[in-house]
Structure 1
């Protein structure tokens, strides 16, 4: 039995799946648990324990796993599996995640940015299947993305291409976590919306806006304008055929995320790229990172996957 292990390492949770290989891997078992905040070795142990639990749920063993992929926060070196810095995970500075997981699990492990893994999944099995020029956007706790042009993922000189959350969309605005201001993330990411409204979850901001709270409505309207500007910039500069939008906020609030992006493009984008692009919802939901990790592991382990490396 040829199985794949897909891992999604986030600042709050470790999530793993065991999937049967196929054009679209089918999930046989899964596990989810909190991400330790006590250093890199404890995170590796938690991932290994989660993987074993997912294997048990799938009634399988490690010897059945052909390869593993791990979607992780960046910036990182996807060729060496080295996480340069993950501010939300203590102890993850120049951390050799792929090597440590390989030692803990006994299988080959391939690491990449979470948004890159999501783009791989949507390209192979989701809304971007068959597209050669697309941008993947996630609107969730943070705001990020990945760019595919002429069938290849853009990496840039330091593998940070696709950090669209830090695309400036305003001449002024709240200070972003990156140290700048006016970034799309500072206006439209769930974490920033919640902080600006003084609550712990962006869903409460959207609910308050829907109930007529004037301050919540101003914050949500500001986030919409930021997403409009971001979509216009992506369209004019990158000329994609698709902008695929995922993440928990986009999934639950399409009228206040996808629709403003479509409206901005229709009203203000340069005509030629405007007529070529569609803004569409992502297809794979919460499993996108784990499925992308499983697919990327399969491709890289077999010597393929050049298009996203």
Structure 2
């Protein structure tokens, strides 16, 4: 039998980042939290938490906390069915989800809001990652569900198609005038500044090579913020690919200009969620699929 009091302490330590903040969230002393964690580690014969700023889980700790998160979600589901409130619970049930930045910026937040209204006792813990990498977060146990670009179902997950996100390569009128006054040629594109979201973002480079046969050099800027990524494009720092739902109004108003009409790539998105969990995750999946259907292109 697992020591769920110890697992609750470990989960709090990693969620809050330190033993002191975990103790405050649990209504315990830091010494009591430390004793629970150390005692469980000694019984298991392995380290579960890497002490640091912030504290992190080991591989074994990740597996156990994933189990604990699943148990809390199932308990919350059962409690709602029985109309029973667990007054002894010290931690909310938490569903950890990995979502790509463009989805959270455009449509996924609406699914979160709808789910929160239905399940106010469940906390959503959202991790932002590239859609090419979110499936790996699911495999490793870091998250319980994910929006991903992978259609390969994991053995324990149900994977459904959400549709495709259309993207537009665009730039500000000032950048168009400065670098594409004679048209969007391969030479002009190679010399024009562009943006990258982060070091793993190769979307602009792949698009330029596929459409214009151009190898891009260093970007004008890396900026790991969806709002700043769009703002810098509007300000004319560089061109970039943006989700169509995010920039459609700017294109209509002329604040952005599509640099190669007719060459809009689409990224297929999928929703992967465990098969065996109860009504709460089913409701989350229903909201994700419903909102995605309104925002994404049919796959």
Q: Shorter-chain-normalised TM-score: which range?
A: under 0.3
When the two structures are superposed, what TM-score results if normalisation uses the length of structure 2? 0.28
Q: Which is richer in strand?
A: 1
Higher radius of gyration, 1 or 2 = 2
When the two structures are superposed, what TM-score results if normalisation uses the length of structure 1? 0.27
